[in-house]
Chains A and B, each alone.
Chain A
Amino acid sequence: MSASQTTPGIVAGRLPPEAYCENFADVIPPLGAHEAVVASDRCYFCHDAPCITACPTSIDIPLFIRQIQTGNPEGAAKTILSQNILGGMCARVCPTETLCEEACVREAAEGKPVEIGRLQRYATDTLMAAGVHPFTRAAPTGKRVAVVGAGPAGLACAHRLAMHGHDVVILDARPKAGGLNEYGIASYKAPGGFAQAELDWLLMIGGITVQTGRALGRDVTLDALAADHDAVFLGMGLAGVNALGAPGDDKDGVRAAVDFIADLRQAADLATLPVGRNVVVIGGGMTAIDAAVQSKLLGAETVTIVYRRGQEAMSASRYEQEHATANGVRIVCNARPVAVHGNGTVREVEFEYTRTGAKGLEGTGETFRLPADQVFRAIGQKLDGAPSGLDLSGGKIAVTGPGRTSRPGVWAGGDCAAGGEDLTVTAVAEGRDAAMDIHAHLTGGAG
């Protein structure tokens, strides 16, 4: 082994080969059949259950858990998937600690909620392992809908439309479909090629054609899509990455965290993926956590997340923060980058401490420097190249109701649309609801 954790610069193979397999295994192992029955028995089957309200896709959680408890995991999966067709991925990536499990009455009672996420995974894994697709496509309507973006919003929209008999074409700019499920989730949350397996399973509904490598604005225009289809759904996510805005942020070694995460997801052999000795991640969301933890798991010696506000303001959940610190990531709060130093290549990042003043966040004047071979920007993504003619809101596509844009016949959902949290599960809900609205319009059921 030539490289180690202390090798300077950005290099691959810092760890012994077997370490990668261990580090990137399922972060939360699946429940066995008996474990699932025991875990499901803890559900109280609450009246008007708070967990359902907390779920952006409103899955009937007490019902599916009771179905598991009574030995019907496939039925449980159908309950889940009828509300959330990507229930398998959401079971893995949802921040359940801030959604259903936070609302669980057992969380209030004993600080130990029903393991809803793991139970959902047990049910959906059982169904998918059986190769069963529990939904059937309605008779073809002859209507054609274009869906831009094969991520969670687009896939949820496409599946629901296909189920109602419409023909759907999904366009995606990347070489593979799946969106953030394929390119943007930490590897240890969905190992084993799950994103593609779930995609293949989803497409079993029929009536959906996927065209990869086709980007809106580059390969096709919205006008053309609208002209050729009865409706268009935009779910292309946020391709742009915010810049640091600090001098030197174009030096070598500074890059977008999302690109690093995507490389990691696509790497056939993680031992070949270079990572810095001293890694600095700037940001306070899930992307920052995922980039930081995976840097550490790839063998970085030190990894520091620097966030400009207090820890309580981080959008990453407390659970995720603890996951990071448990993996050896240091979190520094109340500091903002003011300069990236280095001779062509980053060597240090200079930060200034912050405080909340009368006019909001302000620098204290005190600065410090962190050594860095590699800097990841994780301070948010933005919508690049929104199709002209659509109203925007806060830099995203403005929508009303179930994803209606300002242009008739065009809907939008997921991260590219304004409103809602930027979560997989929220994207699924928006795609699904837009599909139902499109369906109503195409069949004359809505005004």
Chain B
Amino acid sequence: MANLATNFVGIKSPNPFWLASAPPTDKAYNVVRAFKAGWGGVVWKTLGIDPPIVNVNGPRYGAVWGADRRLLGLNNIELITDRPLDVNLAEIKQVKRDWPDRAMVVSLMVPCDEDSWKYILKRVEETEADGVELNFGCPHGMSERGMGSAVGQVPEYIEMVARWCKAHTRMPVIVKLTPNITDIRYPARAAHKGGADAVSLINTVSSITSVNLDTFSPEPSIDGKGSHGGYCGPAVKPIALNMVAEIARDAETRGLPISGIGGVTTWRDAAEFIALGAGTVQVCTAAMTYGFKIVQEMITGLSDWMDKQGHADIDAFRGRAVPNVTDWQYLNLDFVTKARIDQDACIKCGRCYAACEDTSHQAIAMKPGRVFEVIDAECVACNLCVNVCPVDNCITMERLPAGAVDPRTGRTVTGTYANWTTHPNNPSAKAAE
């Protein structure tokens, strides 16, 4: 059986599934339930300086649903822990003592002055927690007070605070990044420069989930008003994957440990983050939607897949997808494919036809008897028909072999890699060697 144990910047856990710093990790009661269910670690909900913050007394969450009210995205306006620091620290200490094999990381957010960080780091050290995560990510509430994403949006601040933290604690320091920036590489580089041991991402995406069309209040609505919240859940996973990949392949941050966060709902999501370089994954929305038991699906799914693939441990496939993430300019323009419709699998809904005819390249013919066929001379292989087809594997992309002529362009497929950098239409093209 595959070994799921991880050692992330010296923090050991029996599996890569951590609960992210969030409501599920606010109290010993929840965390103990999580550990009993099998979670490998937790990042305790963000601690601050007393007096504790207060939360709104109206709704804290808004949601976006798919069919059958499946939760696709969740948005929250909850702040950091609203319990006294001493209460949290005592519980952290006790839980770590009771569950020594699980990862116990403590999330922190204090004002941007060195003394505040120094003070809280010492207090956390006393708990014997395994590490700290600097919350530079929350986009709501705390950011208005100069914390959370207000720090994460300024690389210089990230570097400065990371450096303070490394100077004042022996614990591993993870910097949690906000996605509410234009280029994730800059804050990651800053964290790295500041000496952070790792980054974790993404925190939530600034969002309004919906507008109530009766009251014209954004949701969630507090007495008729709303404030942007942090969006998370399955909907943000693609954003997170890209940001993780950008950091994993950036020359300046390559090799920097990453804890992947953002819409991890199944073992497959976790495996994808790990393939893009993440050493652990953090989960919140899936647990909030289904309860802690879902980790059992994640553990068994990942383990079964690793067994099938022959991956003995997490490191055996970690980062394996990173070399395949490249810039557009290096994509192979000699890779020519055409859509193929499996007529036996086709249920004749015509969605491929509508999509192609109305919004793409008029490359699908609708023939008598609702027979849909690809017109190779028009097909640019955009893949839209594959994406809108309700039948899995009914439409596939078939590669034209070397020597074949693409009837759309009249060009012969050479079988030789060729990209934009050498294309004659590129004004900056270099002559092919």
Contact = CB atoms under 8 A, between A and B. Distances in A.
A37 B69 CA distance: 9
Contact of A48 (B69, B347, B350): B350
A102 to B, nearest CB: 13
B68 A109 contact: no
A300 B68 CA distance: 43
A370 B196 CA distance: 92
Contact of A105 (B67, B349, B353, B366): B349
Contact of A109 (B353, B366, B391): B391
Interface string A88-114: 000000000000000001101100000
A38 B66 CA distance: 10
Contacts of B347: 105-106, 108-109
Interface in A18-63: 34, 37-38, 41, 44-50
B348 A108 contact: yes
A60 B353 CA distance: 19
A34 B353 contact: no
A44 B355 CA distance: 13
A96 to B, nearest CB: 18
A41 B347 CA distance: 17
Contact of A50 (B67, B348, B351): B348
B68 A38 contact: yes
A37 B370 CA distance: 28
A50 B390 contact: no
B358 to A, nearest CB: 9
Interface residues of A, number: 15
A34 B67 CA distance: 10
Nearest to A44: B349
Contact of B351 (A34, A45, A106): A45
Contacts of A34: 69
B354 interface: yes
B427 to A, nearest CB: 41
Nearest to B69: A34
A248 to B, nearest CB: 52
Chain B, interface residues (CB within 8 Å), range: 10 to 19
A46 B68 contact: no
Contacts of A38: 67-68
Nearest to B390: A44
Nearest to B358: A47
A108 B391 CA distance: 12
A50 B370 contact: yes
A12 to B, nearest CB: 47
Interface string B371-414: 00000000000000000001100000000000000000000000
Nearest to A109: B347
Nearest to A106: B347
A312 to B, nearest CB: 24
A74 to B, nearest CB: 15
A260 to B, nearest CB: 43
From B69, B347, B349, B350, name the one whose CB has the most chain A CB atoms within 10 angstroms: B349
B266 to A, nearest CB: 21
A47 B67 contact: no
A425 B2 CA distance: 62
A43 B349 CA distance: 10
Contacts of B348: 46, 50, 105, 108
Interface in B204-249: none
Contact of B67 (A41, A45, A108): A41
Interface in B314-359: 347-351, 353-354
B68 A47 contact: no
A106 B351 CA distance: 13
A46 B349 CA distance: 5
A109 B366 CA distance: 19
A50 B370 CA distance: 9
Contact of B350 (A37, A41, A46): A46
B344 to A, nearest CB: 12
A105 B372 CA distance: 14
Interface of B: 67-69, 347-351, 353-354, 366, 370, 390-391
Top-10 shortest CB links A-B: A47-B350, A41-B67, A47-B354, A109-B347, A46-B349, A105-B347, A44-B349, A105-B349, A38-B68, A108-B347
Interface of A: 34, 37-38, 41, 44-50, 105-106, 108-109
Given A44-B351, A45-B351, A50-B348, 8 more contacts: A41-B67, A41-B68, A44-B390, A47-B351, A48-B366, A49-B350, A105-B347, A109-B391
6 contacts: A37-B68, A38-B67, A45-B351, A46-B348, A47-B349, A105-B347
